[in-house]
């Protein structure tokens, strides 16, 4: 960027389920940003960027996209298996880079990205752990860090999606790393954040297939449970589900020696409680995007602020690599049936 007041020229790669949402926000809803380029191998997705977002520079090939000289930053919303190579290419091309979670599906890839980022400290590299930007989680973390619940020693956190009868995630499973790397990685990052970044020692996991037998082909489950032990005695329990009947339900409980906090219980869509002859109830959130829409905006604003030099990031690549390390140990345990060293 030529001046601190200039708009950050952003390109986006990946215009799928989440990429479209990020692209719309970058085109119409993010301050100090101009969405100048988009990349997808799918023609219909490039058409969407041109027709709905007014993006003129469209690329089918990532290598050509990343060489675009009139782009300050890139946002990667591509399949997880591509994140590491694309992030490295972006950094080497001199761009700031936002990488959707998880950073990568193995530690070697995480370390390759960290090594290149370490050589380029003037460039921002951020992984999209969106819950760190949700107002309720921000407030809960500040309370815990301020000592409100004494010494936090246990986190129970879940990511539960409404069942998708079309089974999008069954097709997605080979590149997602499985339910723990795809869903619980958010809870893993939250647990580390809320517990003060303790070192993870050991993990145990189990799971079951309730509705989607196709997942067995890649060793995945549609409902998974995990326990992680941390140095110093803290523990975390994670639950992830793809098969909720009612809606999306992300919630996190953090328990300390002087109290506990609970974020996000009941998946309520609004503040209306309906009482009638059928009982007392409220409408539920449809999906992660409805739950975290504001957080996605705050997350991108934080990335842009860091790129402009307005505010530093507190979420580091090392945090993202640690989340992958723990997610991998959990996934190994799911497959081995035994506790695994993290
Ligand atoms: P998706 O499969 O719907 O979209 C992937 C996109 O990448 C498609 O537009 C596809 O055409 C494009 N693509 C494939 N190969 C490419 C290449 N070589 N270069 C450029 N584009 C390429 O997947 P979805 O659900 O949008 O997920 C994308 C990423 O976002 C994943 O890493 C996932 O973990 C993450 N994600 C994060 C969420 C969050 O809560 N923060 C929620 C959902 C997804």
Q: What is the CATH number of the domain that holds 110?
A: 3.40.50.720
Backbone angles phi, psi at 301, to 5 degrees: -60, -40
pLDDT of 165 > 90? The answer is no
Whether residue 132 contacts residue 214, with contact meaning beta carbons closer than 8 Å, is answered with no
- Tell whether 336 is covered by a domain: yes
Question: What pLDDT does 287 receive?
Answer: 94
Q: What is the pLDDT of residues 209-255, one digit of tens each?
A: 999 999 999 999 999 999 999 999 999 999 999 999 999 999 999 99
pLDDT of 154 > 90? The answer is yes
C-alpha distances (whole Å) from 308 to each of 6, 114, 160, 230 are: 9, 21, 35, 36
In terms of residue numbers, what domain contains 150? 132-291+323-341
What does the pLDDT average to over 117-122?
A: 97
What does the pLDDT average to over 2-13?
A: 81
What does the pLDDT average to over 108-120?
A: 98
- For the chain, the average pLDDT equals 96
Whether residue 93 contacts residue 270, with contact meaning beta carbons closer than 8 Å, is answered with no
Question: What pLDDT does 205 receive?
Answer: 98
Tell me the best of 12, 13, 15, 17 to mutate to test the pocket of ligand 1, counting ligand atoms within 8 Å of each CB and taking the most.
17
Task: Confirm or reject: Cβ of 20 under 6 Å from ligand 1.
Answer: no
- Tell whether 64 is covered by a domain: yes
Domain count, the chain: 2
Task: Confirm or reject: Cβ of 42 under 6 Å from ligand 1.
Answer: yes
- Tell whether 1 is covered by a domain: no
Q: What is the pLDDT of residues 268-323, one digit of tens each?
A: 899 899 999 999 999 999 999 999 999 999 999 999 999 999 999 999 999 999 99
- Tell whether 2 is covered by a domain: no
Q: Are strands 249-256 and 152-162 parallel, antiparallel or unpaired?
A: antiparallel
* 165 or 192, higher pLDDT: 192
Using the mean position of ligand 1's atoms as its centre, give its distance from the Cα of residue 19 in Å: 6
- Tell whether 3 is covered by a domain: no
Adjacent-strand bridge partners of 230: 200
Query: How far apart, in whole angstroms, are the C-alpha atoms of residue 275 and residue 143?
Result: 34
Question: What pLDDT does 2 receive?
Answer: 45
Bond preceding residue 224 cis, omega within 30 of 0: no
Using the mean position of ligand 1's atoms as its centre, give its distance from the Cα of residue 103 in Å: 12
Whether residue 277 is found in the same domain as residue 302: no
Whether residue 81 is found in the same domain as residue 32: yes
Tell me the best of 13, 15, 19, 298 to mutate to test the pocket of ligand 1, counting ligand atoms within 8 Å of each CB and taking the most.
19
- Tell whether 36 is covered by a domain: yes
pLDDT class of 175 with cuts at 50, 70, 90: confident
Residues in the chain: 342
Question: What pLDDT does 259 receive?
Answer: 98
Query: How far apart, in whole angstroms, are the C-alpha atoms of residue 327 and residue 324?
Result: 5
pLDDT of 149 > 90? The answer is yes
Q: What is the CATH number of the domain that holds 284?
A: 3.30.360.10
* 3 or 291, higher pLDDT: 291
Q: Which own/partner contact pairs does 304-307 have at CB distance under 8 Å and 24+ positions apart?
A: 304/8, 304/30, 304/31, 304/32, 304/33, 304/73, 306/96, 306/124, 306/126, 307/1, 307/8, 307/72, 307/73, 307/96, 307/124
Using the mean position of ligand 1's atoms as its centre, give its distance from the Cα of residue 168 in Å: 12
Task: Confirm or reject: Cβ of 131 under 6 Å from ligand 1.
Answer: no
- Residue 276, classified by CB atoms within 10 Å of its CB into exposed (0-12), middle (13-18) or buried (19+), is exposed
Whether residue 123 is found in the same domain as residue 178: no
Whether residue 77 is found in the same domain as residue 153: no
Whether residue 321 contacts residue 116, with contact meaning beta carbons closer than 8 Å, is answered with no
Query: How far apart, in whole angstroms, are the C-alpha atoms of residue 311 and residue 297?
Result: 16
CA atoms within 13 A on the CB side of 45: 21
Task: Confirm or reject: Cβ of 187 under 6 Å from ligand 1.
Answer: no
Query: How far apart, in whole angstroms, are the C-alpha atoms of residue 303 and residue 166?
Result: 34
Whether residue 126 is found in the same domain as residue 137: no
- C-alpha triplet 162, 144, 146: angle, nearest 5°: 150
Question: What pLDDT does 4 receive?
Answer: 53
CA-closest residue to ligand 1 atom 14: 78
DSSP symbols for 62-128: HHHHHT-SS-SEEEE-S-GGGHHHHHHHHHHTT-EEEEESPS-SSHHHHHHHHHHHHT-TTS-EEEE
Whether residue 169 is found in the same domain as residue 83: no
Using the mean position of ligand 1's atoms as its centre, give its distance from the Cα of residue 152 in Å: 35
Question: What pLDDT does 264 receive?
Answer: 93
Whether residue 37 is found in the same domain as residue 138: no
Question: What pLDDT does 265 receive?
Answer: 84
Q: Which percentage of the chain shows pLDDT scores above 90?
A: 92
- Residue 31, classified by CB atoms within 10 Å of its CB into exposed (0-12), middle (13-18) or buried (19+), is exposed
Whether residue 178 is found in the same domain as residue 327: yes
Q: What is the pLDDT of residues 65-107, one digit of tens each?
A: 999 999 999 999 999 999 999 999 999 999 999 999 999 999 9
- Tell whether 35 is covered by a domain: yes
pLDDT of 126 > 80? The answer is yes
Which ipTM value was assigned to this complex?
Answer: 0.99
Whether residue 84 is found in the same domain as residue 229: no
CA 25 to chain centre: 17
Whether residue 150 is found in the same domain as residue 256: yes
CA-closest residue to ligand 1 atom 34: 101
- Tell whether 236 is covered by a domain: yes
Whether residue 209 is found in the same domain as residue 67: no
Whether residue 210 is found in the same domain as residue 169: yes
pLDDT of 49 > 90? The answer is yes
Q: Are strands 152-162 and 235-244 parallel, antiparallel or unpaired?
A: parallel
Structure tokens at 91: 């950094």
């Amino acid at each position: 960027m030529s001046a601190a007041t200039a708009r950050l020229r952003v390109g986006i790669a990946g215009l799928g389920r989440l990429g479209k949402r990020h692209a719309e926000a970058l085109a119409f809803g993010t301050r100090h940003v101009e969405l100048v380029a988009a990349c997808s191998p799918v023609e219909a997705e490039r058409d969407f960027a041109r027709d709905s977002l007014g993006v003129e520079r469209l690329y089918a090939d990532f290598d050509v996209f990343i060489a675009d000289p009139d782009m300050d930053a890139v946002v990667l919303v591509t399949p997880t298996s591509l994140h590491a190579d694309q992030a490295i290419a972006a950094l080497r091309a001199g761009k700031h880079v936002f990488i959707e979670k998880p950073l990568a599906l193995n530690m070697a890839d995480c370390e390759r990205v960290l090594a290149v980022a370490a050589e380029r400290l003037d460039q921002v590299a951020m992984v999209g752990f969106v819950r760190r930007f949700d107002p309720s989680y921000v407030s809960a973390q500040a309370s815990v860090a301020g000592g409100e619940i004494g010494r936090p020693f246990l986190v129970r956190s879940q990511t539960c999606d409404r069942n998708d009868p079309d089974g999008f995630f069954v097709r997605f499973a080979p590149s997602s790393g499985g339910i723990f790397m795809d869903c619980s990685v958010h809870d893993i990052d939250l647990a580390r954040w809320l517990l003060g970044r303790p070192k993870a020692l050991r993990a145990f996991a189990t799971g079951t297939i309730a509705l989607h037998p196709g997942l067995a082909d890649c060793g995945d489950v549609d409902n998974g449970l995990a326990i992680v032990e941390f140095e110093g005695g803290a523990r975390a329990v994670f639950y992830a589900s793809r098969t909720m009947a009612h809606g999306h339900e992300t919630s996190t409980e953090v328990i300390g020696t002087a109290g506990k906090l609970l974020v996000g219980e009941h998946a309520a869509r609004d503040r209306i409680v309906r009482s009638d002859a059928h009982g007392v109830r409220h409408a539920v959130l449809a999906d992660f995007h409805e739950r975290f829409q504001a957080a996605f905006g705050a997350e991108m604003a934080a990335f842009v602020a860091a790129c402009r030099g307005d505010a530093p990031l507190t979420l580091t690549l090392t945090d993202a690599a640690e989340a992958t390390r723990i997610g991998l140990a959990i996934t190994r345990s799911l497959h081995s049936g035994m506790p695994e060293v993290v």
